[in-house]
């Protein structure tokens, strides 16, 4: 009983420290039954290449963000319910060792750990927490997942028309197939429900045609032609709202020492917190 009370207090302090690390742009994390299972840094493959991200595994969700000040200050908080995650173990590649794939309805991406043992620990604990959550009931696993974006450097030409990329001919990504395409080949916009229920997203001409046929077959009006909207550069994190982005910009102007507990430091390798004390969600 004493051990459980001690763990509950430690768990609450850890969760508050994670909350504080994201500053005013972060979402509240404390809620009854939520346990911080583990945390650490992983290499995430983005469209601009591999980047270190800090990851936090809870018994009901996975959260990650960009590292601004190691162990103290993070931003671009992303939260994924565990029931929406599908993992795929991958063999080592020339550039990425100890890697695996995260599939989610809104975003799919590759990550890599510093060692094989660390990779296996992450996968095992995520799968275990997801299994417990689904057994508890009240949620269903995701059925449709976003494609992974092909990295910018993987193609020097548009993967639809084969025109070369340049300063004037910028790279973009089709949200449906993940191909690297030029602006001309990605003028179309369409709603992709599992990524965003209402927002019109950039798609290539081929995917637009496919989505148009699907929409006609289902008698659903969800696909648009050439858009006159002003579309900014593609971002690595495409699922944040404008309010969150504005908060992130404000966060960069804050002195982290004003709201970060100077005694709390997050590890660069995976740390697993007392699994024998983890209880199911209540």
| DSSP letters for 78-92 | EEEEGGG-EEEE---
Say what percent of the chain tops pLDDT 90. 49
Position 269 scores a pLDDT of 75
Task: Estimate to the nearest angstrom the gap between the alpha carbon of 136 and the chain centroid.
Answer: 24
Position 275 scores a pLDDT of 58
In this prediction, residue 7 has a pLDDT band, given cuts at 50, 70 and 90, of: confident
Position 280 scores a pLDDT of 43
The yes-or-no verdict on residue 142 having pLDDT over 70 is no
Position 277 scores a pLDDT of 47
Position 220 scores a pLDDT of 52
Cα–Cα distance for residue pair 80/172, rounded to 1 Å: 25
159/150: higher pLDDT: 159
Cα–Cα distance for residue pair 102/85, rounded to 1 Å: 7
β-pairing, 200-203 vs 188-191, is antiparallel
219/22: higher pLDDT: 22
The yes-or-no verdict on residue 213 having pLDDT over 90 is no
The pTM of the whole model exceeds 0.75: no
Q: Which residues are CB-neighbours of 61 under 8 A, at least 6 positions away?
A: 79, 80, 81, 82
Average pLDDT for 64-76: 84
In this prediction, residue 120 has a pLDDT band, given cuts at 50, 70 and 90, of: very high
Query: Which CATH code is given to the segment(s) 2-145+240-277?
Result: 2.30.29.30
The yes-or-no verdict on residue 2 having pLDDT over 50 is yes
Say what percent of the chain tops pLDDT 70. 74
Other Cβ atoms less than 10 A from the Cβ of 154: the count is: 11
Q: What architecture does CATH give domain 172-226?
A: 2-Layer Sandwich (3.30)
Across 93-102, 201-210, 223-232, least confident range: 223-232
Domain boundaries, the chain: 2-145+240-277, 172-226
218/122: higher pLDDT: 122
Q: Which of 47, 25, 12 is nearest to 171 (CA)?
A: 47
The yes-or-no verdict on residue 270 having pLDDT over 60 is yes
């Amino acid at each position: 009983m004493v051990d459980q009370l001690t763990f509950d207090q430690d768990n609450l302090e850890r969760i508050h420290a994670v909350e504080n690390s994201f500053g005013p742009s972060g979402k509240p994390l404390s809620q009854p039954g939520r346990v911080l299972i583990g945390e650490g840094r992983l290499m995430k493959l983005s469209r601009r290449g591999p980047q270190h991200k800090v990851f936090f595994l809870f018994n009901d969700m996975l959260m990650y963000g960009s590292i601004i000040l190691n162990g103290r200050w993070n931003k671009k908080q992303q939260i994924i319910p565990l029931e929406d995650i599908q993992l795929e173990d991958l063999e080592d590649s020339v550039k990425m060792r100890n890697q695996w794939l995260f599939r989610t309805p809104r975003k799919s991406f590759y990550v890599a750990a510093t060692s094989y043992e660390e990779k296996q620990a992450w996968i095992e604990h995520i799968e275990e927490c997801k299994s417990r959550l689904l057994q508890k009931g009240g949620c269903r696993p995701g059925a449709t997942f976003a494609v992974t974006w092909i990295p910018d450097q993987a193609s020097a030409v548009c993967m639809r028309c084969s025109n070369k990329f340049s300063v004037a001919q910028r790279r973009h990504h089709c949200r449906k197939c993940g191909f690297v395409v030029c602006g001309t080949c990605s003028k179309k916009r369409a709603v992709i429900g599992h990524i965003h229920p209402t927002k019109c997203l950039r798609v290539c001409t081929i995917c637009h045609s496919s989505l148009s046929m699907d929409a006609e077959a289902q008698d659903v009006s969800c696909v648009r032609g050439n858009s006159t909207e002003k579309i900014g550069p593609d971002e690595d994190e495409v699922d944040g709202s404008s309010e969150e982005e504005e908060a992130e910009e404000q966060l960069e102007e804050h002195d982290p020492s004003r709201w970060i507990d100077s005694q709390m430091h997050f590890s660069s390798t995976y740390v697993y917190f007392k699994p024998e004390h983890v209880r199911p969600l209540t």
